[in-house]
Amino acid sequence: MMNKLLFGRFIPGHSLIHHLDPRNKLLLSFYFIGIIFLANNWPTYLCLFIFTMLAVRLSGIKMSFFIRGVRPLIWLILFTVLLQVFFTRGGTTYWSWGPIVLSQYGIVNGIYIFMRFLLIIFMSTLLTLTTQPLSLADAIEAILKPLRVVRFPVYEVALMLSIALRFVPTLMDETEKIMNAQRARGVDFGEGNLFQQMRAIVPLLIPLFVSSFNRAEDLATAMEARGYRGGEGRSKYRILTWHMSDTWTVIAFALLTGVLVWLRA
């Protein structure tokens, strides 16, 4: 399951989405998460879904591969949806037992929450799939650069975020190796009830933490050996450039916002 988690992974490509300015992709991804909350009925969610599927299509990434990648997060989404379904009152009540209620509003809100989570995961994963971690770090640094006026550590924050994003798939692969090693020694992670399965995962934490600290120490030593002293005064090998396609993308998001406002109930 760990090797199917796509967060933090980059898939090389030559699509329109791949060639967009990383600053534009980062800001528009956050903007998309914000305008999702404008949706409050079926037409608005359908519009957002079509827009997201079009973005995935333009990225050149196969939908089947994309769905397999976000599948490990489905249980978290379903847990949140069930809480919404059984603890929201309103409309026609179909079934009730104490504080647990199955109502019309609960079912509708549960579907909306499911769509909202799915759209956010698709768009945020699309950002990391089509953007190199170093380019994403450069985008974060460029966006936060005005905060240098108030002595905000822009370079350090950008470095920490890029390292964290880069090592997410590495840690997932490391976890998979540790799980395989423990399976070879007779550990069954799918045996017993939920609490027993959670208890079986606890022994993974110690070797994973040890490996993470060792990797962090090696990385720090490598950075010191190369004379890293922050980004102040350093030149850039990768120059971020705004293209006409970025402008058209901003226009598309502006049109999407207008359509959502028009379709709101």
Q: What is the pLDDT of residues 162-178, one digit of tens each?
A: 777 777 777 777 887 88
Q: For residue 31, which amino acid is it?
A: Y
CA distance 41 to 255: 18
- Return the structure tokens found at 252: 């598309």
Mean per-residue pLDDT for 144-166?
79
Count of Cβ atoms closer than 10 Å to residue 179 Cβ: 19
142 near 23, Cβ under 8 Å? yes
Range with top average pLDDT, 38-52, 157-171, 232-246: 38-52
> Which pTM value belongs to this model?
0.75
Please check the confidence at residue 192 and state whether its pLDDT lies above 90. Answer: no
Q: What is the pLDDT of residues 115-147, one digit of tens each?
A: 888 898 888 888 888 888 778 878 888 888 888
146 near 30, Cβ under 8 Å? no
Q: For residue 145, which amino acid is it?
A: K
CA distance 163 to 87: 40
CA distance 125 to 69: 9
**Measured between alpha carbons, how far is residue 176 from residues 74, 118, 216 in Å?**
19, 25, 19
Instruction: Please give the DSSP secondary-structure letter assigned to residue 90.
Output: -
Q: For residue 251, which amino acid is it?
A: I
